[in-house]
């Protein structure tokens, strides 16, 4: 490693990888939560819109069984939605923490780069000053 390289570059890269992983986990949790919400809404809307003319006891039994099944499915989807919400919150917290850890190192890397830039500018100015001192002045020229 050269003296000009950020000393924590390897750790920064590792933190960026972990942040990317946390982002992917969060994106997956968001996607699954949306899918579950959409399925839940579809089942709920299906229950609301199912109007059947009941003509006999067998039809009434079939409608009751279908509604019970849909109700059970809705209850299961409610539980799944709660679990997905918890996973989403956990993934969000994980991403936020990973981003904060990465951001802290990125600030250090930026400061390091600024320090190097300032050092280069100072060195260049010293060289220019030295050159100006060594250059013959016009009144010194014949």
- What pLDDT shows up at residue 87? 97
> 31, 25, 37: which is closest to 82 by C-alpha?
37
Separation CA 111–CA 81 (nearest Å): 44
Q: Going from the first residue of the chain to its last (142 residues), give the mean pLDDT of each consecutive group of 10, the final group possibly shorter.
A: 85 97 98 95 82 79 84 92 97 98 97 96 94 77 55
Annotated domain spans of the chain: 9-105
Question: pTM for the whole thing?
Answer: 0.73
- What pLDDT shows up at residue 19? 98
- What pLDDT shows up at residue 68? 87
């Amino acid at each position: 490693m050269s003296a000009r390289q950020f000393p924590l570059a390897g750790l920064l890269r590792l933190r960026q990888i972990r942040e990317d992983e946390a982002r992917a986990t969060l994106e997956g949790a968001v996607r699954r939560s949306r899918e579950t919400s959409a399925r839940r809404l579809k089942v709920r809307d299906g229950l609301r819109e199912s109007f059947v003319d009941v003509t006999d006891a067998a039809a009434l039994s079939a409608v009751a069984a279908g509604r019970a099944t849909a109700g059970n499915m809705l209850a299961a989807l409610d539980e799944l939605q709660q679990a997905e919400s918890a996973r989403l919150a956990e993934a969000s917290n994980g991403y936020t923490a990973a981003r904060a850890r990465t951001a802290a190192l990125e600030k250090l890397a930026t400061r390091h780069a600024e320090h190097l830039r300032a050092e280069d500018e100072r060195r260049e100015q010293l060289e220019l000053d030295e050159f100006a001192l060594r250059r013959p002045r016009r009144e010194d020229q014949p």
